[in-house]
Structure 1
Amino acid sequence: MTSNHTPKKSLGQNFLHDRSYIERIVQAIDPQPGDRVVEIGPGQGALTLPLLRRHGALTVIEFDRDLVGPLAAMAEGVGELAIVHRDVLQVDLTALAGGERIKLAGNLPYNISSPILFHALEHAAAIRDMVFMLQKEVVDRMGAGPGSKVYGRLSVMLQAYCTVTPLFVVPPGAFRPAPKVDSAVVRLVPRDPATIAIRDRERFANVVRAAFGQRRKTLRNALNGVCDAAQFDAAGVSADARAEQIDVAAFIRLANAGA
């Protein structure tokens, strides 16, 4: 472990150190022989070393140059570690998969967790599953259903393309430095592309963004200029409803009606 590294607040660094939670996360990732595993933000290697010991090979994406050397040194004699020193948002995950389907894992920086999730969605066809640790509030939003106060754009976009399963909560004391909020671990499994009925991904994203951009308004007003009355009728969606009342399937029908 590179315990002499000072966590950088600007990068949202909170390093996991509690062994019991580390083991639970590794069990959730559950790498199998032949799997290609990619860890986002390995930090000081809390998950990296146990994964290497268990699986023998691992690719990590690390933005902090001060951690690259220590990670490489730590992996010597443990397993085969490939380090991609880049911002994960600039990494082509499909190219990294090399024609295979990868398992993605990591303790995501809280300050860019949502952009990372949307980036992963763009490469969902190249991903077998994802096990991430994020702020509990974000995990709650990811798995929320219609009618929930935290059901929103993130919920709909993720659930349209993935099965979202919150796994367990991780308390602040499991990290250094301790964050001010609880964390949680979640599993996302991309859906079979053949079962995703979205005709136009860009239009779907635009409809969902617009609907929740003015969530206090009715869909008729929030989607003015995006969906017309005929499209609401074709989708079987009430224009008088609000975004948080509409399930994922209804959003897909509404977007498809104008595609």
Structure 2
Amino acid sequence: MNNRVHQGYYARKRFGQNFLKDNNVIENIVTAIHAQCSEELVEIGPGLGALTEPISQYLDTLTVIELDRDLATRLQKHPFLSAKLTIYQQDAMTFDFSLLAQQKGQRLRVFGNLPYNIATPLMFHLFSYTSSVKDMHFMLQKEVANRLIAKPGSKAYGRLSVMAQYYCRVIPVLEVPSYAFTPPPKVESVVVRLVPFVELPYPVIDTYILSNITIEAFSKRRKTLRNSLGHLFSLDTLDVLGIDARLRAENVTVAQYCQLANWLKMHQNKYWE
């Protein structure tokens, strides 16, 4: 039997499709999300409806974003889901979550089994909408989940860690083995909960600058700040900020990156404009 076929549908590699099939895992995810009828939920990549069906039992309406036209059509024809669903057949990377939150009159709860090939860029896309999002529950490749929750000093700590932890509390919820999917991926998965901060612990004047500082630092992660960010910050500046110039990118805390971004905005605000 072809292990890429599930419920008569052939999983497409170009969409990174791995369909969730384990009922215990599905039940645990639905329980973790704990959907309420008064809330506005958005599912990214509903696929064959493994999560869509059980979660919709708690809701009157559900918004789904599905890139695969055949799967979107399948959901439109679903015997009991179709009446509840608003289906956007488009790439979630182009979706305006703030506009939807405005239309719904409340912050959104976003969830999904994210394709491994787009998980990281999609997370960065969603970070720009955190003011419109109440929380997010995502199934991710374990490596990506580890990067989200990593602390300074660990090998997994990187740009994704800094930006995720700037915007959100990141909480691991559930580990998921590869056999829970069809086709089974070559990696393990983890469900994570991301809860955007209502008040940011370390507010940054310009997050574009924060993002670019992390790109520069982690692109030269084996170099010390003296070398990787020396063109932006003098040794005297780092000293005034209380940041050791001998630190490498992976040893700098989220709070320190925010300090650097705010200093640069105030002193060299035209650098990245």
Normalised TM-score (structure 1) = 0.96
Match 1:58 to one of 38, 58, 62: 62
State the 4+ residue runs in structure 1 displaced beyond 3 angstroms.
193-196
Match 1:10 to one of 11, 14, 17: 14
Match 2:24 to one of 9, 20, 24: 20
Match 2:245 to one of 239, 250, 254: 239
> Which residues in structure 2 correspond to 1:76-225 (within 5 Å)?
76=80, 80-98=84-102, 99-193=105-199, 195-225=201-231
Seq. identity, %: 46
**One-letter amino acid of the counterpart of residue 187, structure 2:** V
Render the CA deviation track for 1:87-132: whole Å, top value 9, x for unaligned: 0001111111124200000000000100110000000000000000
CA distance in 1, matches of 2:236, 2:199: 28
Are 1:38 and 1:58, in contact at CA under 8 Å, matched by a contact in 2? Answer: yes
Q: How far is the alpha carbon of 1:7 from its aligned partner?
A: 0.2
When the two structures are aligned, how many residues end up with a matched partner? 258
Are 1:7 and 1:13, in contact at CA under 8 Å, matched by a contact in 2? Answer: yes
**One-letter amino acid of the counterpart of residue 112, structure 2:** G
**One-letter amino acid of the counterpart of residue 70, structure 1:** R
Are 2:202 and 2:258, in contact at CA under 8 Å, matched by a contact in 1? Answer: no
Distance change >3 Å, CA 152–CA 240, structure 1 → 2: same
* Residue 67 (structure 1) aligned with residue 71 (structure 2): yes
Q: How far is the alpha carbon of 1:203 from its aligned partner?
A: 0.9
Whose helix proportion is higher, 1 or 2? Answer: 1
Render the CA deviation track for 1:214-250: whole Å, top value 9, x for unaligned: 0000011111323233431232111111011111111
Structure 2 residues not aligned, in runs of 5+:
1-5, 266-273
Tell me the residue number matched to 1:32. Answer: 36
Q: How far is the alpha carbon of 1:181 from its aligned partner?
A: 0.6
Render the CA deviation track for 1:187-237: whole Å, top value 9, x for unaligned: 000011454411111111111111111000001111132323343123211
Are 2:15 and 2:115, in contact at CA under 8 Å, matched by a contact in 1? Answer: yes
Structure 1 residues not aligned, in runs of 5+:
none
Normalised TM-score (structure 2) = 0.91
Deviates more, 1:66-75 or 1:8-17: 66-75
